Structure formats: C-alpha cells, structure tokens
C-alpha cells in the first residue's frame, strides 16, 4: 500500500504528532529504540554546498519497524523544488509484514517542527523565570513556516514573531502569512527564543547578537561540515541534544566548535526535576533528525487511516 503526501496531510496533525514525538524521544533515551547510525552517501551532483546527499534511516520500536530513505539537496530551493524528499516503509514488527510505503516529505517537515515544540515545552519552564514572548526566526522556508505552526500549539504566551532571511522578499511573504514581522538578522536574534532553519553552509547566527539567557532551536545544519551558529554562540551555551550520539557524530555546529553536549532531551522529559537546566546562561537545543521520529509519525498516519491495532 502506498500512502501519498495528500493522504498524510489529511490525517497528520500537530495535536496528535507532538505527544507521539514526545514519547518517542523518551523511549529513545530510555534505550527502548533500536536505531543504528544513519547511512549517508553524497550524490556528487555539485562541488560546493549544493552537493546533495542520500540517507538511509532504519529503526525498530514498539510494535513496528521502519526505514526512511531521504534526500537533501540544498540547491533545490533556487529551482523551486523541495530540498528534502523522502519515503518511509513501515513494517509490522511481530511478523515482518510490510504495512505501507508512505511519502515522507511532509512527515519530515512536521516531525522536525514537532521535536522543537516538544523541546520548547520541556525546556522553557525550566529555563525562563517568566514565560518568553518573542520568537526570532532565521530562515523563511519550509521549516520556518512549520515551526511557527507547531510552536503555537505549546507556546500560548507567544506575542512577537520576527523573521529574517537572506531573501528579504521571502521573509516579507512569510511574515505576512503568519502575522509576523520581517526584520534584520540582529533583531531576530535578539528575541527570547531563536530558531535557525536555513541551508546556509556558513554560520547565520552570531553569539554577540543573542540575549544572555536566550533559548536557541538549531535545526538547519544536519551534517558534520555545515553549521549555523558561530563559536561564540556554541561555546557560551548549555547544549541539549535531540540524541547525544547523533549530534556528536553528525552536527557541524558541535564538531567544528568543540562544544560539549550536556544533556539529551529525552532525559529532560523523563525527569525534569533532575535536569540541571540553567536559568543564567543560553541554551541551545540541537537536532539533526533521527529515524524514530519518522517511524513514530508514520505509525500515527497508518493508525489514523486504518483505525486498526498492530498487535
């Protein structure tokens, strides 16, 4: 069975996805997920940052198994083509039976934003003395839009959204669509919470622009040679990882700066009272994406379409 993006869109909501991702992150940190490192092969289509990659991401968790095959081509945005494209095969763990092949582009878009929403909901109460109200968005593409939608589900105090982009027209368009303001980079970076969601091969966020107690959601640079944050931002911050091993192995922001990961978000979710989340310094939540998030979302889609148990 093939499940198209249109079908995914008809049933996948942040109301259901955010709790599912939260549980998936807890399960991962608790050792209940079998997830090897993803395999990434370079496409060799270009000699610069446009060089795409092809990734294979398997995982076994709960009553399902699955694998996502994903491509990322940073140069596609100027061609009017999605930079990320994917398919997910979902299988029944008990018997190995294939259940569906699911278009993974929208799942990847939404689960990435849902991870950040889960992290925000966990970290903000531990970090901020009073609820933050301002959100700076660096980037104006798919993930910028998805994060604004997802975070509104967990951030009722959000009042001021500031968007900056290397393409001012795109920033203005997204701002108009979302009730935000298009602003210079420094003004976006001076918000309480800052998102970096770009395909830039070089840092787009400088530590000197950030508030002393900012929370940064860094989602754009997902390979070891790319980074969105400069050394000052990374080294002045308490770093929380989506998955410690993945971020230390794959994140250029961490590898190239020499920053250390101090906590994993699943650990914080499992025991907030034991988490040593500081109030007096910046926090960076760094993600590179992982298979269990895709499998959790794919399982949710399958259940919504079939209304059947996998047992």
Q: Give residue-wise pLDDT tens across range 145-189.
A: 999 999 999 999 999 999 999 999 999 999 999 999 999 999 999
Contact 57, 68 (CB under 8 A): yes
Is pLDDT of 311 > 60?
no
Report the candidate in 231, 269, 206, 246 with the shortest Cα–Cα distance to residue 27: 269
Q: What is the pLDDT of residue 201?
A: 81
Residues in Cβ contact with 217 at an 8 Å cutoff, skipping those fewer than 6 apart: 116, 119, 120, 147, 193, 194, 195, 196, 285, 287
Among 3.20.10.10, 3.40.50.720, 3.40.50.300, 3.40.50.2000, what is the CATH number of 112-286? 3.40.50.720
Q: What is the pLDDT of residue 74?
A: 83
Condensed to tens digits (0 to 9), the pLDDT of residues 236-273 reads 999 999 999 999 999 999 999 999 999 999 999 999 98
Could you give the percent of the chain with pLDDT greater than 70? Answer: 99
Average pLDDT over residues 46-67: 92
Q: Which pLDDT band holds residue 309 (cuts at 50, 70, 90)?
A: low
Average pLDDT over residues 192-219: 95
Q: What is the pLDDT of residue 284?
A: 98
Is pLDDT of 299 > 70?
yes
Residue ranges, CATH 3.40.50.720, the chain: 112-286
Residue ranges, CATH 3.30.1780.10, the chain: 2-108+291-306
Q: What is the pLDDT of residue 77?
A: 81
Looking at domain 2-108+291-306, its CATH class is alpha beta
């Amino acid at each position: 069975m093939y499940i198209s993006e249109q079908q995914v869109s008809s049933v996948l909501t942040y109301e259901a996805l955010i709790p599912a991702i939260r549980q998936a992150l807890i399960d991962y940190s608790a050792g209940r997920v079998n997830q090897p490192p993803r395999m990434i092969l370079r496409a060799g289509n270009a000699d610069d940052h446009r060089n795409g990659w092809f990734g294979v991401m398997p995982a076994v968790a709960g009553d399902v198994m699955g694998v996502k095959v994903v491509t990322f081509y940073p140069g596609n945005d100027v061609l009017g083509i999605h930079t990320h494209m994917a398919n997910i095969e979902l299988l029944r763990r008990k018997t190995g039976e294939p259940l569906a092949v699911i278009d993974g582009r929208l799942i990847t878009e939404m689960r990435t934003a849902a991870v950040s929403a889960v992290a925000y909901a966990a970290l903000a109460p531990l970090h901020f003395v009073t609820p933050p109200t301002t959100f700076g968005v660096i980037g104006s593409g798919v993930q910028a839009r998805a994060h604004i939608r997802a975070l509104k589900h967990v951030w009722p105090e959000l009042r001021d959204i500031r968007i900056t982009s290397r393409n001012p027209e795109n920033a203005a368009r997204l701002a108009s669509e979302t009730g935000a303001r298009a602003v210079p980079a420094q003004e976006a970076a001076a918000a309480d919470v800052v998102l970096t969601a770009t395909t830039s091969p070089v840092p787009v966020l400088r530590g000197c622009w950030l508030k002393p107690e900012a929370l940064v959601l860094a989602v754009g640079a997902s390979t070891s040679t790319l980074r969105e944050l400069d050394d000052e931002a990374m080294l002045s911050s308490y770093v929380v990882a989506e998955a410690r091993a993945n971020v230390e192995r794959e994140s250029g922001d961490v590898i190239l700066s020499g920053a250390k990961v101090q906590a994993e978000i699943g650990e914080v979710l499992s025991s907030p009272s034991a988490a040593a989340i500081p109030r007096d310094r910046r926090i960076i939540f760094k993600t590179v994406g992982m298979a269990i998030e895709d499998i959790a979302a794919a399982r949710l889609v399958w259940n919504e379409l079939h209304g059947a148990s996998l047992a």
